[in-house]
Amino acid sequence: MSMLVDNPIQALKDYVAYPSVSADSSFANGVAGAREFACAQLQELGFSVDLVDTPIHPIIVATRGEPSWPGIVIYGHYDVQPPDPLNLWTSKPFEAQERNGRLYGRGAADNKGPQIVHMAALARALKKNPNLPLRITYLIEGEEEIGSPSFRQFLEKDKHRLQGDFLLVSDTGSPGPNQLAVTTGLRGLVALEVKVYGPKQDLHSGVHGGALLNPLQALARACASLHDEQGRVTVPGFYDAVQAPQDWEREELSKLPITESAYAEFLGAPGFFPPPGYSPLEAIRFCPTLEFNGIGGGYQGEGSKTVIPAEAFAKITCRLVPDQSAEDIAGKVQKALQSAFPSAVRVEVETKGGGDPYVILPPGKPGADSGSKPLMEKAFSLAEHCIEQSFGTRPLYLREGGSIPIIRDLKEVVGLDSLMLGLFTNEDNLHAPDESFNLEIMNKAIDAFEQFFVGLAG
């Protein structure tokens, strides 16, 4: 408790030091270390901590407080993305380093920093009032960065343990240290893998070329057929369920303190390519996508090689917006792909899981759920107040382009809506080399959350 109170940055350094890469089994010790670290912090805060076994990395469920007190659930993930490519890091990814007001390290922003913010804020509040009448259930998983494959099953079995009026999440972004955001939506996600098979082995392209359909050629044509020239997805029915954003959402977004040209410069991109009718910053939040994450096959080495490859592959993900469903879109894209190849090659399309999109309209906004729980309404206005106190400006209410598939599952299965406060920014390099967490945001957010927890209890 004392480290969380006195030196939360050190606590974050210690947390980052465990290389908890969930995608790679050679990091199993690091994943276990991060989990034990999180459990130890919660124990010090007076939580009773339990581990729920899953086929991969156990889920932490911890509770404090009386069942009669107002209750919330706090979500986080102790796993991180792989650190590769290692040579592009300025300092080592798992030896957190403080430089120019930031703490650099894999997971510093996504999601260990925001978790330390919650814990440090709570530690301060509990130091002043050990009996703070707020029931808190912590839910920290270790498989978020690999799509939470065990989460649905956990929910079905253990949903009764997640009693509370809402879910508090800090695993989303904000425009910058002077402008925080309450996240009002997350895109859904569906992943597909396409494999194309031609001859039984690579062939001499002179001896056999001309007689066969090259799997790479077939794949390139099929992939290209999934968008039109303006970038709209051509998969039949893809946009059927898409809801247009509300006017207030577009207006709120227009208050973003970032210009299109600054955004282009930040990305180092030669130009934008949003779908017709949307600005780039709108497209991220309001439009679905079909993205090629990797296409490959054939010779990739130095020089040339005259070969007809035996196989080719593509990895595709779609980001989804309300009211698209992952299952429906997976089926539609599968069908479009299956019919995009001639019978001269054999094609396999596999769906690799995903999650549905999520929207929470803050109380008071058009279309908001009037039956939402009283503590939830209080939480939104309290969050706005605490952010204004600590950061000097009121938060914007913005949807985000990223995905946290379990947020929708928690709504469907447990009935919990989410209050999402974004603590990382574009400059934090999520999933990329030199990931970092802004320490000014960290310090101000600890103040804001201390007031938030105290206010919720009172």
Residues 389, 71: Cα–Cα separation, whole Å:
24
C-alpha 450/C-alpha 453 separation (Å) is: 5
The phi-psi region of residue 182 (left if phi > 0; otherwise alpha if psi is between -120 and 50; otherwise beta) is beta
User: Contact letters (x/-) for ligand BES, 99-138, by CB under 6 A?
Assistant: -----------xx---------------------------
Query: Of the two residues 117 and 189, which places its CB atom closer to ligand BES in the complex?
Result: 189
Which does residue 418 bind out of Mn ion, ligand BES, none, counting CB within 5 to 8 angstroms by kind? none
CA dist 283 and 274 (Å) reads 6
Residues in region 157-216 near ligand BES by CB under 6 A: 171-173, 186, 189
CB burial of residue 264 (10 Å; 0-12, 13-18, 19+): middle
Q: What is the DSSP letter of 110?
A: I
Which parts of 414-453 interact with Mn ion (CB under 5 A)?
none
Q: Specify the residue, 288 or 405, whose C-beta has the smaller distance to Mn ion.
A: 405
Q: Which of 284, 228, 276 is closest to 260 using CA atoms?
A: 284
Q: Which is nearer to ligand BES, 219 or 387 (CB)?
A: 387
Cβ neighbours of residue 323 under 8 Å, at least 6 residues apart? 241, 242, 243, 357
Tell me the closest approach of the beta carbon of residue 22 to ligand BES, in angstroms.
10
What's the closest the beta carbon of residue 431 comes to Mn ion, in angstroms? Answer: 6
Does the N-terminal peptide bond of residue 85 adopt cis geometry, omega within 30 degrees of 0?
A: yes
Contacts of 60 (CB under 8 A, 6+ apart): 35, 38, 39, 42, 49, 50, 51, 52, 78, 138, 139, 140, 141, 142
> CA dist 98 to 20, 108, 359, 380, 438, Å?
20, 11, 35, 33, 10
Q: Cβ of residue 108: shortest distance to ligand BES, in angstroms?
A: 12
Distance between CA atoms of residues 352 and 189, nearest Å? 10
Q: Region of 377 please: left (phi>0), alpha (psi -120 to 50) or beta.
A: alpha
Minimum distance of ligand BES from residue 197's CB (angstroms): 28
Among 249, 282, 356, 400, binds ligand BES (CB under 6 A): 400
Residue closer to ligand BES (CB basis): 112 or 332? 112
**Of the residues 14, 143, 144, 282, which one makes contact with ligand BES according to CB under 6 A:** 144
* CA neighbor of 235 nearest in space, from 243, 223, 245, 244: 223
Q: Is residue 324 at the binding interface for ligand BES, with CB under 6 A as the rule?
A: no
Q: What is the DSSP letter of 455?
A: H
The region of 7-15, 96-104, 401-409, 440-448 touching ligand BES under the rule CB under 6 A is: 401-409
For residue 212, the tally of other CB atoms under 10 A from its CB is: 15
Secondary structure (3-state) at 55: coil
Residue of 150, 179, 403, 425 that binds ligand BES (CB under 6 A) = 403
Q: Which does 173 bind (CB under 5 to 8 A by kind): ligand BES, Mn ion, none?
A: ligand BES
**345-404 binders of Mn ion (CB under 5 A):** none
Residue (295 or 430) nearer to ligand BES, CB: 430
110: contact with Mn ion by CB under 5 A: yes
- Cβ 137 vs Cβ 41: under 8 Å: no
Number of residues in contact with Mn ion, rule: CB under 5 A?
1
Closest approach, Cβ 79 to Mn ion, in A, equals 9
Ranges assigned E (strand) in 395-451: 396-399, 418-421, 436-438
> How many whole angstroms from its chain centre is CA 198?
37
CB 385 within 8 A of CB 454: no
Is 83 a binder of ligand BES (CB under 6 A)?
A: no
Question: Measured from the CB atom, is 189 or 316 closer to Mn ion?
Answer: 189
Q: Which does 337 bind (CB under 5 to 8 A by kind): ligand BES, Mn ion, none?
A: none
Where does residue 247 rank: exposed (0-12), middle (13-18), buried (19+ CB within 10 A)? exposed
- Residue closer to ligand BES, measured from CB, 41 or 425: 425
Could you tell me which stretch among 35-43, 109-117, 232-240, 404-412 binds Mn ion (CB under 5 A)? 109-117
The binding track of 357-396 with respect to ligand BES, each residue x by CB under 6 A or -, is: ----------------------------------------
404 binds, among ligand BES, Mn ion, none (CB under 5 to 8 A by kind): ligand BES
What the block records as the tokens of 221 is 């044509």
In the complex, which residue's CB is closest to Mn ion?
Answer: 110
Contact 399/286 with Cβ under 8 angstroms? yes
147 makes contact, choosing from Mn ion, ligand BES, none, with CB < 5 to 8 Å by partner type, with ligand BES
**Residue 143 Cβ, how far from Mn ion at the closest point, in Å?**
12
- As a whole number of angstroms, the distance between CA 151 and CA 141 comes to 8
Among 405, 408, 421, 436, binds ligand BES (CB under 6 A): 405
Choice between 110 and 252, CB closer to Mn ion: 110
Which residues in this chain contact ligand BES in the complex, by CB under 6 A? 110-111, 144-145, 147, 171-173, 186, 189, 400, 402-405
Positions touching Mn ion (CB under 5 A) are: 110
